[in-house]
Amino acid sequence: MIKNISNLGDAALYCDFGTEVNKQINSEVIKYFNTIKEKNIKGINNLTPSYNKLIISYDLRIINFNEIKDIIEKLNVTETLKIVNKNLEIPVCCDASFSLDMKRLEKKLNLSQEDILSNFFGKEFFCYMTGFIAGLPFLGDLDENMRVQRLETPRVKVPKGSVGITEQFANIYTYESPGGWNIIGNTPLKLFDSSKEKDPNLINPGDTIIFKQITLEEYENYNE
Amino acid sequence: MSNNYFEIIRAGINTTFQDRGRCNLYHIGIPFSGAMDNRNYLLANRLVGNKLDTPVIEFAYQGPLLKYYGDKIYIAITGDVIFKLKNKDNEIVGNCYESYQLENGDEIDILSTNKSVYGYLSISGEFNLKPQWGSFSINTKANIGSNDGKKLENNQKINISKINLSQGKNKINYLNSKVENIRVLKGTNFNYFSEEGKKIFFKKEFIVSKLSDRMGMRLEGPKIDNIVNTNIKSEGLLKGVIQVPADGNPIIMLSDHGTIGGYPKIGVVASVDYDRLVQMSPGSKIKFKEINLSDAETLFKLYEMETQNLLSQI
């Protein structure tokens, strides 16, 4: 449930679902997101679901804060929506040329490369949200012993396809972009297809992911 | 097939096609984009008799030098822009907010924006462009939009698919107001900052840094001290949101911003001041003035009425 609604500026509603990050709160956020999206409410021009917040942007020429708050508060979100979540396998190569922060991770986590990789590749991840750059998924949760802070100085350019970890989360850089996550490997898979008018994202909130380790040779010969 | 086009002799610093932008894609990581200064975008279209959502050429600082080939066409430039129009016999300094007729072989030389950042060039007709997700706007960071999502380059051709001469020569008197004060609503993490930090934010002067583009505007000045946490759990961003990372220097999100961010939000620029904010060039002084929600809504309505009033005068 929404714990509190406030304004974020004069053209957005900030719906707070809590401070923790877990699947239960996140699925509430996604339920609201899907319901509001389906209702096509006049004036709403964007929705941003995240771990435990939903931001609703609107056109101030059409509707204002109090009007939209009223609509959201009266919204009936109990109806079941038919959302098909996917289970995906993402190939990742951890050749030294890709795993840019392996040394740092070994040191910070006090784990060997083998331990890090076996933990990372054995797990099922859940997609909480996508964004920052087009199609980038925020995945969780890493085990306690795998959690590490962002780089002290973020990279100006993280290579496209890089798989990064920070805190309890993993992500995949869909484009070359600035970024501060610890890079563990790289996927040859295309995660964002700008030629698709509908559903350009491969991974969407609610999907589950398992990373599968591949060799450099498999990476180079990868064909989608 | 008509054969009307511009040849780009000099592309300029950051020249793109922009329209009203694209909606409902934040959740997959795609921002609105669109013309940075919405009022000047609308005026550019109205001056040449276009529908108001027609894509135009947006330029920043130094604009393009274009040579025109084809049938008679009207153009207009809006913003605070210094430009020249050249034909084989003479050269004139052009006025913003006035449409001009171009003929085969004429040139438009957009020298620079004057103590501002963005300007707009419209044509009476349509460029031959392909939209993406309902908009022609180019987001060069994500390579989304017309022109393969890339800024315009030297020696490129800009094809024109349609010319509309139904409206003749037009002009309007308009002056872009220069401001220092930008009105801001308190952000969702306002209380993350020390009392001193809050005071600094609303009382002191900041300077627009050179590290500013269509994605964001970085500010320099006194540091704003965070007493709670320099990170938040990542959540949505909007244009106008002011984030303060650990180094204490505010960053304002602009139209091509990343859709998710993890720095505390100290404030959000009121919609009424967005067009003026984006025009503040590096080195400009900026001061934030606190405004509440209902005043921000009222002032935006007035600003909209003023825009509509300007459009109706043309």
Q: List, in sequence order, every beta strand (DSSP E) within B39-79.
A: 56-60, 65-69, 73-78
Asked whether residue B169 is assigned to any structural domain, the reply reads: no
Asked whether residue B281 is assigned to any structural domain, the reply reads: yes
Question: What's the gap in Å between the CA of B279 and the closest CA on chain A?
Answer: 20
Residues from chain B contacting residue A200 (CB–CB below 8 Å): 28
Both B130 and B15 in one domain: the answer is yes
What digits encode the pLDDT tens for the residues B79-114? 999 999 999 889 999 999 999 999 999 999 999 999
Q: Is the pLDDT of residue A81 over 80?
A: no
Locate tokens 């002084």: which residue? B285
Tokens of B294: 């209902």
d(CA B251, CA B236): 15
Both B192 and B292 in one domain: the answer is yes
Asked whether residue B172 is assigned to any structural domain, the reply reads: no
For chain A, the domains span 4-73, 87-220
Both B151 and B257 in one domain: the answer is no
What digits encode the pLDDT tens for the residues A22-47? 999 999 999 999 999 999 999 999 99
CATH number at residue B199: 2.40.100.10
Both B193 and B144 in one domain: the answer is no
- Give the pLDDT of residue A164: 97
Question: What dotted CATH number matches A4-73?
Answer: 3.30.1360.40
Q: What is the ipTM of this complex?
A: 0.95
Q: Which fold has domain A87-220?
A: Cyclophilin (2.40.100)
d(CA B138, CA B271): 22
Rg of chain A taking only CA atoms, in angstroms: 19
**A57 strand-pairing partners:** A12, A46
Both B13 and B155 in one domain: the answer is yes
Select from B225, B224, B252 the least CA-distant residue to B239. Answer: B252
Both B203 and B308 in one domain: the answer is yes
Q: Is the dihedral of CA B50, B55, B59, B64 positive or negative?
A: negative
Both B32 and B125 in one domain: the answer is yes
H/E run at residue A157: strand A155-158
A108 or B166: whose pLDDT is higher?
A: A108
Domain assignment of residue B13, given as a range: 4-163
- Give the pLDDT of residue A101: 97
d(CA B117, CA A212): 48
d(CA B140, CA B149): 5
The average pLDDT across B204-232 equals 94
Asked whether residue B175 is assigned to any structural domain, the reply reads: no
Both B187 and B158 in one domain: the answer is no
Asked if the C-beta of B25 comes within 8 angstroms of chain A's C-beta atoms, the answer is yes
Both B154 and B8 in one domain: the answer is yes
The pTM assigned to this predicted structure is 0.94
Q: How many residues does chain B have?
A: 314
What digits encode the pLDDT tens for the residues B64-74? 999 999 999 99
Q: What are phi and psi of B82, to 5 degrees?
A: -100, 120
Contacts of residues B31-34 at CB distance under 8 Å and 24 or more positions apart, as own/partner, are: B31/B139, B31/B239, B31/B255, B31/B256, B31/B257, B31/B258, B31/B259, B32/A45, B32/A46, B32/B239, B32/B255, B33/B135, B33/B137, B33/B138, B33/B139, B33/B144, B33/B145, B33/B214, B33/B255, B33/B256, B34/B135, B34/B137, B34/B255
The answer to whether the CB atoms of A194 and B132 lie below 8 A apart is: yes
Both B148 and B224 in one domain: the answer is no
Structurally, how many domains does chain B consist of? 2
Residue B147 DSSP class:
G
Q: Is the pLDDT of residue A135 over 70?
A: yes
Residues from chain A contacting residue B240 (CB–CB below 8 Å): 9
Both B130 and B255 in one domain: the answer is no
Asked whether residue B170 is assigned to any structural domain, the reply reads: no
Both B135 and B239 in one domain: the answer is no
Q: Is the pLDDT of residue B22 over 60?
A: yes
The average pLDDT across A215-220 equals 96
Question: What's the gap in Å between the CA of A49 and the closest CA on chain B?
Answer: 6
